[in-house]
Amino acid sequence: MATATQSDQAERRTRWITVLLLAPSAFWYLALLVVPLAIVVVFSFGERAAAGGYQAAFTIANYLNLPARAAAFRNTLILAPVGTIVCLLAAYPLAYYLAIKASPRMRLFLLILVIVPFWTSFLIRTYAWMFILGGRGLPAVIEWLGLGEVRLINTPLSVLIGMVYGYLPLMVFPIFVSLERLDKRLIEAAADLGSNPWRSFLQVTLPLSAPGVITGCMLVFILLMGEYLIPQLLGGGKVFFIGNALVDLFLQSRNWPFGSAVAMGLVVIMLATVTIYLRVTRRYGAGRDVSLL
Amino acid sequence: MDRKEFTYHLRRWQKGSISRRQFLGVTGLGVATAVLAKAMPELVMPRAAYAGDLGDRVSLTTWPNYHDPKNFEDFTAKTGVAVEVNVFGSNEEMLAKLQAGGTGWDLFVPTNYTISTYKELDLIEPLDLSLLPAYDPAAMEQRFVEAGTIDGKTYAVSKDWGTTGYAVNTKKITEKMTSWKDFWDLAMGKYTGRAMVHDYQLTTIGNALKYYGYSFNSIDPKELGDAEKLLLAAKPHLFAINSDYQPSMRNGDAWLTVCWTGDGKQMHRDMPEIEYVIGKEGGEIWSDFYAVPKGAPHRAAGYALANFLLTPEVNAKEVQAHGYPSADSRTNKLLPKELLEDPIMYPAAELLAPLEFGAAATLTNPARAEIMARFKSA
């Protein structure tokens, strides 16, 4: 009887400790994620107050008005995936070289080169691109070489260049990590079994680095969907993203309800694409894993 | 008091937990300062002159290229108050920040047409003019200060005024430009990819309205519809939609931009080929003010900074740095003659006559806000 009570007490104490330890993160999650999102949902059904801001109401007019921001959705939905793919294509060979081909010294040197830009503010680096892509930068060089007159700054291309530059390291690192963990004997085994290098890359290396590729693509894609600064600075306010439309609706038009509806649109698109992407890639990754093991 | 205790109080004062006066009191430095001040006034007086509860910092919210940084340094040297400067691109944005609350601003620079809205929304306080001895209403040109006074109470005091025209790089653009019609036609025609407009509904829509000769402040749906059509047609031809146009104009990427007096003056000073044009159809004349937001955390320091910047000697230095004319006759007396005769700062009467002050309705009108947003996201 007495022992049962004791173990009861111990169990209760453990439960308390668990609750206490979880409390900060639960609070964090509630206060900074759930509550703000709930506010956005409520706002999205409201009306713009006369002088701007929010006024309580229940209307779906804001959602019906979403096509008015079609261009922003279109720009984001084209440039974010394209940016992610270009990042992937640029990052994979680099990560592969770093993890598999490079000597330890070279690897350290190159890794530092990839990390160094993070020591400078993203804003300043993007400003630097304004000068590189501006009339006195790269276009002047191209013209001097006699390759004709080009306009780079304030075009979708300059936005794409800025995005790939800005997010490349976020793609390189996860792929590098998954390739570095790869057991090189598996490649040797594939070669012993008569597989040519290209085939063993496709059947061994690539599937085993899939977790890194998936993580990298998720990181870059989600951040690109919410991008605001690069379209503003390198797009000259002409290549509008959903992020820019949001800033505009909250800060210039002061139409919080419509802004909230656009934000909900972004959240829904993001959830849908990420879910589909994970479903597809997980099935692919899992199937390969099983066949390899 | 031992060293540890002194350091403790010093830290508290630096963090703002206690005021300067309390700090001087508990540490005994106040008495020491007073003694020292009598013996060697030069050493202590500059700071002691403002001693009291100014605190150690003040937050000023203003526009790009709009002050002489040296004046802020002088203010800090004199009062011990560090000036933190926030820069904004539009009145709409300022209003949105204040509406959302918790800005931490002590002093900000609203434009004439926004002040009645700030007052209605209870975001600014009537000014305590006894704290602004450097401000002399009698010395001010009336039309530039009247928007700051509502129902006999002063809510904002005049900083300076100016016009909204456009800047042209005459080395690249040889046509003689005189009107907003010229601006839009050339921006969409021969000089495609070279023109910039403000990221700002008031002037961008206002000057599109001027293309048709409508009022700069129009909120008539048919007229706004015409303006929107013009803007959407012009958008593919624009170099950028951005209120910070000096870098692009100076490096030659942009040849033509909607422009305020001071930016026009600053660019012309460094690159004489950049000229400033006021559209002959009219456009905007405006005046900017200093105002104190409700709940300013360093209210006293905000007043002290406004008072300092409004002192004619200081204001004259400001005007020479930013190139916007002052409404204060005492300041103007201290300016060199060539500034007072400068056609960018003081345009000819026939150019000024058709200009309009922005109206409160253009700030709060939802149709204008939505047109600008559609233009940008098109």
CA-based nearest residue to B106, from B82, B129, B133: B82
Distance, CA of B283 to CA of B215 (rounded, Å): 8
Q: Which pLDDT value is given to residue A128?
A: 92
Q: Which pLDDT value is given to residue B192?
A: 95
Distance, CA of B347 to CA of B339 (rounded, Å): 12
The nearest alpha carbon in chain B to A137 belongs to: B251
Helices assigned H by DSSP within chain A: 2-29, 35-44, 61-64, 70-96, 104-115, 122-133, 138-144, 156-180, 184-192, 197-200, 206-208, 210-225, 229-234, 242-247, 256-292
Model confidence over B117-171: pLDDT tens digits?
999 999 999 999 999 999 999 999 999 999 999 999 999 999 999 999 999 999 9
Q: Classify residue A105: in a domain, yes or no.
A: yes
Q: Which amino acid is at A201?
A: F
Q: Classify residue A164: in a domain, yes or no.
A: yes
Distance, CA of A7 to CA of A18 (rounded, Å): 16
First to last CA, chain A: 52
The nearest alpha carbon in chain A to B373 belongs to: A248
Task: Tell me, yes or no, if A112 comes closer than 8 A to chain B by beta carbon.
Answer: no
Strand B157-169 to strand B283-290: parallel, antiparallel, or no bridges (unpaired)?
antiparallel
The CATH number that applies at residue A235 is 1.10.3720.10
Q: Which pLDDT value is given to residue B24?
A: 52
The nearest alpha carbon in chain B to A249 belongs to: B373
Q: Which of B253, B362, B374, B375 to mutate to test the interface with A (most CBs of A within 10 A)?
A: B253
Chain B contacts to A (CB-CB under 8 A):
90, 92-93, 95-97, 99, 117, 120-121, 193, 199-201, 235, 238-242, 247-248, 251-253, 364, 366, 369-370, 372-374, 376-378
* Contact (Cβ atoms closer than 8 angstroms) between residue B216 and residue B201: no
CB contact under 8 Å between A252 and B99, yes or no, is: no
Q: Which pLDDT value is given to residue B269?
A: 96
In this prediction the ipTM stands at 0.81
CB contacts, 8 Å: B200 with chain A: 252
* Residue A273: both structure tokens together: 């694409």
* Residue A208: both structure tokens together: 């085993």
* Residue B11: both structure tokens together: 């830290």
Q: Which of A134, A240, A253 sits opposite B370 (nearest CB)?
A: A253
Distance from CA of A66 to the nearest CA of B (A): 11
| Topology (CATH level 3) of domain B162-285+342-377 | D-Maltodextrin-Binding Protein; domain 2 (3.40.190)
* Residue B5: both structure tokens together: 């205790």
Chain A to chain B, count of Cβ pairs less than 8 Å apart? 89
Distance from CA of B358 to the nearest CA of A (A): 16
Structure letter (DSSP) for residue B271 = -
CB contact under 8 Å between A153 and B374, yes or no, is: no
Distances (CA, A) of B201 to A220, B149, B227, B307: 33, 25, 11, 32
Q: Which pLDDT value is given to residue A135?
A: 87
Q: Which residue has the tokens 């500059």?
A: B46
Q: Which pLDDT value is given to residue B39?
A: 46
Q: Return the higher-pLDDT residue of A130 and A285.
A: A130
Q: Classify residue A290: in a domain, yes or no.
A: no
Task: Tell me, yes or no, if A137 comes closer than 8 A to chain B by beta carbon.
Answer: no
Distance from CA of B92 to the nearest CA of A (A): 5
- pTM for the whole thing? 0.82
Q: Which of B92, B120, B377 sits opposite A72 (nearest CB)?
A: B377
Average pLDDT on A198-203 reads: 90
Q: Which residue has the tokens 């936005």?
A: A159
* Contact (Cβ atoms closer than 8 angstroms) between residue A218 and residue A88: no
CB contacts, 8 Å: A72 with chain B: 377
Q: Which residue has the tokens 């720009």?
A: A75
Q: Which residue has the tokens 């209210």?
A: B299
CB contact under 8 Å between B364 and A53, yes or no, is: no
Distance, CA of A201 to CA of A197 (rounded, Å): 6
Q: Which amino acid is at B352?
A: L
CB contact under 8 Å between B364 and A135, yes or no, is: no
Q: What band does A3 get if pLDDT is binned at 50, 70 and 90?
A: low
Task: Tell me, yes or no, if A135 comes closer than 8 A to chain B by beta carbon.
Answer: yes
Q: Tell me: pLDDT of A123 over 60.
A: yes
CA B177, distance to chain mean position in Å, is: 27
Q: Classify residue A30: in a domain, yes or no.
A: no
Q: Where along chain B do the CATH 3.40.190.10 domains lie?
A: 50-161+287-337, 162-285+342-377
Collapsed DSSP state (helix, strand, coil) of residue B275: strand
CB contacts, 8 Å: A255 with chain B: 366, 369-370, 373
* Residue A102: both structure tokens together: 């490079």
Q: For chain A, what is the mean pLDDT?
A: 90
Q: Classify residue A157: in a domain, yes or no.
A: yes
Q: Which of A72, A151, A244 sits opposite B193 (nearest CB)?
A: A151
CA-based nearest residue to B107, from B346, B290, B320: B290
User: What is the CB-side half-sphere exposure of residue A202 using CA atoms within 13 A?
Assistant: 4
* Contact (Cβ atoms closer than 8 angstroms) between residue B212 and residue B279: no
Model confidence over A162-172: pLDDT tens digits?
999 999 999 99
Please name the residues in contact with B135: beta carbons below 8 A apart, sequence gap of 6 or more: B129, B157, B306, B307, B310
Domain ranges, residue A135 = 74-257
Per-residue pLDDT in tens (0 to 9) along chain B, 378 residues: 666 665 665 565 555 555 555 555 555 454 444 444 444 444 444 444 454 679 999 999 999 889 999 999 999 999 999 999 999 988 999 999 998 888 999 999 999 999 999 999 999 999 999 999 999 999 999 999 999 999 999 999 999 999 999 999 999 999 999 999 999 999 999 999 999 999 989 999 999 999 999 999 999 999 999 999 999 999 999 999 998 899 999 999 999 999 999 999 999 999 999 999 999 999 999 999 999 999 999 999 999 999 999 999 999 999 999 999 999 999 999 999 999 999 999 999 999 999 999 999 998 888 998 899 889 988
CB contact under 8 Å between A52 and B99, yes or no, is: yes
Question: What is the C-alpha radius of gyration for chain A, rounded to an integer number of angstroms?
Answer: 25
Q: How many domains does chain A have?
A: 1
Q: Return the higher-pLDDT residue of A93 and A187.
A: A93
CATH tag, B50-161+287-337: 3.40.190.10
CB contact under 8 Å between B366 and A253, yes or no, is: yes
